Amino acid sequence: MASAQLSATPRDGTGKGSARTLRAQGRIPAIIYGHGRDPQALAIDTRELEKLLSRISAESTVIELSLGGKSAKTLIREIQRHPFKRQILHVDFQELVAGEKVTVRLPIVLNGIPDGVRQDGGILDQTMRELEVEVDPANIPNHVEVDVTSLKIGDSVHVRDIALPEGVEIFGDGDASVCVVSAPRAVVETVAVVEEEAVAAEPEVIGKAKKEEEEEEAEK
Boundary of a domain, candidates 96, 118, 151: 96
β-bridge mates for residue 33, sequence order? 94
- What pLDDT, on a 0 to 100 scale, did the predictor assign at position 79? 93
Q: Domain span at residue 48?
A: 3-96
Number of domains in the chain: 3
- Contact partners, residue 115, CB within 8 Å, separation at least 6: 149, 150, 151, 152
Cα distance between residue 86 and residue 184, in whole Å: 38
- What pLDDT, on a 0 to 100 scale, did the predictor assign at position 192? 55
pLDDT averaged over 10-residue windows placed end to end, the chain, 220 residues: 88 80 90 86 93 88 89 92 88 89 92 95 95 89 93 95 89 91 72 55 49 53
CA angle 36, 17, 8 (to 5 degrees): 45
Same domain, 145 and 77: no
Same domain, 140 and 173: yes
Question: How many beta carbons lie within 10 A of that of residue 126, not counting itself?
Answer: 15
Boundary of a domain, candidates 42, 70, 96: 96
Boundary of a domain, candidates 96, 113, 130: 96
Same domain, 85 and 12: yes
Which helix (DSSP H) or strand (DSSP E) does residue 194 occupy? helix 185-219
Residue 132 maps to which CATH number? 2.170.120.20
Same domain, 178 and 193: no
Same domain, 9 and 88: yes
Same domain, 21 and 75: yes
Residue 77 maps to which CATH number? 2.40.240.10
Cα distance between residue 201 and residue 207, in whole Å: 10
- What pLDDT, on a 0 to 100 scale, did the predictor assign at position 146? 95
Same domain, 28 and 85: yes
Amino acid 74 reads: T
Same domain, 89 and 148: no
- What pLDDT, on a 0 to 100 scale, did the predictor assign at position 67? 87
Same domain, 197 and 148: no
Same domain, 84 and 13: yes
- What pLDDT, on a 0 to 100 scale, did the predictor assign at position 198? 54
Cα distance between residue 88 and residue 68, in whole Å: 23
Same domain, 89 and 123: no
- What pLDDT, on a 0 to 100 scale, did the predictor assign at position 204? 47
